[in-house]
Chain A
């Protein structure tokens, strides 16, 4: 067991974990932050995307020890303390960008990283950026639309309202 300490959603946390503990397991099992999900074991589905030091990473493909001292942001930290949804979360709800909700935390965290890098992405840029986030429910239409809307773009002309 090794002690690991980091800041998660602004709060300092620490725990004793076996070295082979993945960051996602530290979040889910040790901290009981179960919003970050595990949908595959080959680092492709993106349900586990969180931010480490401001960058989107797959929490299932990183050891907890590698996040020692880091600032980690998860889906649980996205809404305001009073429960008000972030602009991205609100756009996902407004545009029906989720169905079963399982991929959603990863989608929101990836969308947040994208908009931090590229505040007004085109449709093609959004689709390309989501290469590492698989959704089986929505056919992506409303996810892409929600991210465009969250970036302040007019989505009223996109087919199928």
Chain B
């Protein structure tokens, strides 16, 4: 660990002090003078036609300021979708309007119908109960296959069907893949469900709209992963407020995991209502509301076929997936089952032919969008599960079959449009075999057996495309936004530095890790560097944090801005030392003239920039502040190999995770402690998906897992200590830091590892079980054992 606290140091996080002492500033901790409160009356039915909303009695209730319905939003835009997918026939996806408050119909449980603004939340809620709704119940569609049947009730009466799009990728490969599968010596088929999840950041969403009539200025405080994106989407597409009149602030945010990327109705409502009632308007979600109003994750049903030759070499892959969109298209929903999923189907392997078909389906359920991993866990799960099944069918060791198919030459162009710049999959697998002591498994299994437990071993690999991504590429793929990142490096007169970044930290530790990079570049104490984020009034246009992109894209923008600063400072130093700029070196916070003992300190140069008495004013402007926008030329490709051992209780079906080993190649690492923590968190969520979590609707579209009483969140005693390793490093070849991103890996790689291990345990015990759908609850595992 470097003593200077620069790149590679496990520096303790500076943000921890405020969180540990109760001084964090989360959105719900903010109260604006004279604020009113809003309560949303939400639909308790999954599908219905609104015949009338009578607010007369409610309006007379104590404390009520105003009650809003869709009538108040005539002329206001719908919540926009930020990604357009073109189907395999060249047609754009079907894109229904997503109103701020339900217009004419309700389409999922939890959809807001009316909003009561009152002096207190209690009064707002009391009044909401007095609103008389006349809603005619319509038959809902919940199951995706049923939704696609001829004559199924339509979620949107004005659309042709419930099919949002039918996407083929790569469409030109379709026939060749069919042919290869027809002729293959062996085809392994697996049908599976990647169940719906609820992201559940521990901080529920909050929004506060504030309007300043004097300046006609709007401010929105919101729990967002990307305040600039909210400003753009809400300002331009929903409310028609130009950016210079709209400020969006996301202060401390208590976790995101994807679900706080999206622009939500409640944000638009509070911003709109603050002007309408000329009072600040605050909304605070309860956890129960979060279960039916936060965009949910996953929910794919897939059939995957893997064609192999006799030696276990992969010949072709064909997948057919139904992807649930829910009732409306959330901000990035269409990108998840397509570009973030289909492009990953090559995995770590040389499969030459791949065809992915995805049918996205509207149902009367809460909208579905990106959740930690977003499309990549779905790809990894089906691929790594079918490989495991194929290995068993062919009698090849699961590790060996993977090794036989690893990509070893880089750059590697996959048949699904990506170019992997670098990687070393054998190295991560070697490291895994060593760390996890796979040779010792049999002895451990024998010991488990003595205690009446069935032990299993699961191993798999993953690759992900992170650091999203090149704007020109994603633009071609349907993104309606750029995916660059920005940074302003502001050097203050005495040499301290303020960095404004478009990346947003909601647990990732940017305030600690980003300064390590700057400190390294200049040779100053990281404490001299402060990170500012989460406020559109403070930094340049930024794209926010998701897709493991903060350091790879946001950090790279910061490096580019810092390089500009250093170049200018070098010129100033050259002037101060009367030397040629070409001879100036910067090290340990000192500018020196090569080959001499002349030097000038960083702080003297920065002071000269702001007190330009002895300064090359004819060549340089005073001041030392630079902005850079960084748009990467490719994704980054973290990859790894994971192993876990489980014990199954044959009497109850309960699965215990005994050990979990994760070997990841993240390229270069800035703060190993933080990277470990990111992997731990991803593993916790991935194991949660594999064993516990399940978002379930009944046939009427009622949400059964609507609170922590029925949605099983992983607790401390569900999880083991993990062993994580990132000593295998193939640095990213195209960003200045050589970093790849680490936020999603654990959640992507771990679900198949667990399922592989449980299937292994059951097969070793003689059960003819080839697959169990997640979550592997005791009840499901027990039922599988009963045959």
Which A residues contact B (CB, under 8 angstroms)? 28-29, 33-42, 44-45, 47, 74-76, 78-79, 83, 85, 89, 92-94, 96, 98-105, 108, 123-124, 126-128, 130-131, 133-145, 158-161
Contact = CB atoms under 8 A, between A and B. Distances in A.
B20 A85 contact: yes
Given A99-B508, A104-B19, A104-B20, A160 B684 contact: no
Contacts of A145: 721
B254 interface: yes
Interface string B632-676: 000000000000000000000000000000000000000001101
B737 to A, nearest CB: 21
A158 B676 CA distance: 13
Interface string B364-387: 000000000000000000000000
Given A102-B203, A127-B716, A96 B20 contact: no
Given A96-B676, A99-B509, A136-B713, A42 B24 contact: no
Closest 8 A/B residue pairs (Cβ)? A35-B22, A139-B684, A101-B19, A102-B254, A100-B507, A99-B507, A75-B22, A159-B723
A99 B677 contact: yes
Interface in B224-265: 252-255, 257
Given A33-B22, A93-B13, A44 B708 contact: yes
A101 B29 contact: no
Contacts of A93: 12-13, 16-17, 20
Contact of A47 (B202, B717, B723): B202
Contact of B684 (A42, A45, A103, A138): A138
B580 interface: no
Given A130-B716, A142-B677, 6 more contacts: A38-B204, A100-B203, A130-B715, A139-B682, A139-B746, A160-B721
Contacts of A131: 715-717
Given A35-B24, A41-B707, A136-B685, A101 B722 contact: no
Interface of B: 10, 12-13, 15-24, 26, 28-29, 31, 200-204, 252-255, 257, 286-288, 506-509, 673-674, 676-677, 680-685, 687, 707-709, 713-717, 719, 721-725, 746
A158 B723 CA distance: 8
A139 B201 CA distance: 13
B21 A35 contact: yes
B203 A37 contact: yes
B677 A100 contact: no
A138 B709 contact: no
A140 B719 contact: yes
A96 B21 contact: no
A41 B287 contact: yes
B26 A126 contact: no
Contacts of A83: 21
Contact of A140 (B22, B506, B684, B723): B684
B202 to A, nearest CB: 4
A92 B20 contact: yes
A contact patch SS: loop
A96 B707 contact: no
A45 B709 CA distance: 11
Contacts of A99: 255, 507-509, 677, 681
B29 A34 contact: yes
B717 A101 contact: no
A140 B23 contact: no
A94 to B, nearest CB: 6
A76 B21 CA distance: 5
A108 B20 CA distance: 8
Nearest to A160: B724
Contact of B681 (A78, A105, A124, A139): A139
A126 B708 contact: no
A126 B716 contact: yes
A85 B17 contact: yes
A74 B22 contact: yes
Contact of A96 (B255, B287, B288, B674): B674
B118 to A, nearest CB: 15
B26 A102 contact: yes
B17 A42 contact: no
A127 B254 CA distance: 22
A78 B20 CA distance: 9
A85 B12 CA distance: 14
A75 B23 CA distance: 9
Contacts of A101: 15-16, 18-20, 24, 252, 254, 507
Contacts of B288: 41-42
B384 to A, nearest CB: 20
Contacts of B18: 101
Contacts of B201: 100, 102, 136
Nearest to B25: A34
Nearest to A131: B715
26 contacts: A35-B24, A40-B287, A42-B707, A42-B708, A42-B709, A45-B287, A85-B20, A92-B16, A96-B12, A96-B673, A101-B24, A102-B24, A104-B20, A124-B717, A134-B713, A136-B200, A136-B201, A137-B677, A137-B681, A138-B684, A139-B687, A140-B716, A144-B716, A160-B676, A160-B721, A160-B725
A22 to B, nearest CB: 12
B506 A159 contact: no
Contacts of B24: 35, 101-102
A93 B20 CA distance: 8
A58 to B, nearest CB: 12
Contacts of A159: 721-724
Nearest to A105: B22
Given A35-B22, A41-B286, A85-B21, A134 B715 contact: yes
Nearest to A76: B22
Given A100-B506, A101-B252, A160-B722, A139 B680 contact: yes
Contacts of B708: 40, 42, 44-45, 134
A54 to B, nearest CB: 19
Contacts of B257: 136
Contacts of A96: 12-13, 673-674, 676-677
A144 B716 CA distance: 8
A134 to B, nearest CB: 5
B673 to A, nearest CB: 5
A36 B22 contact: yes
Residue picked from A40, A47, A104, most chain B C-beta under 10 Å: A40
Contacts of A126: 716
Nearest to A79: B21
Contact of A34 (B22, B286, B713): B22
A75 B254 contact: no
Contacts of B203: 37, 39, 100, 102
Contacts of B676: 96, 142, 160-161
